[in-house]
Structure 1
Amino acid sequence: MGVIRLFFIAFIVLSVFYVSLSLYSRAVRRGKLEQRWIEEGREGDQEAYVKAGLVDYDSSLRRRLILGVYIIPMVIVGTILYLVNYT
């Protein structure tokens, strides 16, 4: 029962961390797209350019790697619990 409670609390904490990291990463990407728009001196709608760049970001590898926030700690804790209890 204690292990289930541990994983539940860890899931909540990791969810908060994941959302924070995801929002930060998206904000950084938005800033880079806006900066690129200014440096290249493009004409047209800047907001449409940034929006298209963020759509590309949503399907990027970097976005998927942030899910490692859930996977890596849970695997490490699970492995430690297994090794301590069953070896």
Structure 2
Amino acid sequence: MARLYFFGFLVLIVIYICLSLYSRSARREKLEREWDEDIRDGDREAFVRAGLDDYDGSLRRKLILGVFVVPILAVVTLIYVTNFM
């Protein structure tokens, strides 16, 4: 059973990393597109870097941690319902 938990946790880590990298990449593209279409004044890299710094502290970034919380809660709930109800 411990091996199952270990490998399951490894799978969740891989999913978290992939989702986090994808979300950051999508945010970077959105910032670059916004600068290209609207701003076009000043340093593009500084604008993108500042936007990504804001993203690092955002709620969206924290919600990605749900990758760990939701499956664990689902398994715990399933075990509880199966055994005690």
TM-score normalised over the length of structure 2: 0.92
| Residue 28 (structure 1) aligned to one of 23, 26, 37 | 26
More off after superposition, 29-38 vs 75-84: 75-84
**Residue 65, structure 1, aligned to residue 66, structure 2:** no
Alignment partners' CA distance in 2, 1:74 and 1:31: 32
Partner of 1:74: 72
Amino acid of the structure 2 residue aligned with 1:80: L
What pairs up with 1:1-87 in 2 under 5 angstroms? 2=1, 4-87=2-85
Q: In angstroms, what is the RMSD of aligned CA positions? A: 1.2
Q: Quote the offset at 1:86 in angstroms.
A: 3.1
Identity over aligned pairs, percent: 55
More off after superposition, 39-48 vs 61-70: 39-48
Amino acid of the structure 2 residue aligned with 1:53: G
Residue correspondences, number:
85
Alignment partners' CA distance in 2, 1:51 and 1:41: 15
Alignment partners' CA distance in 1, 2:76 and 2:67: 15
Q: Give unmatched runs, 5+ long, in structure 1.
A: none
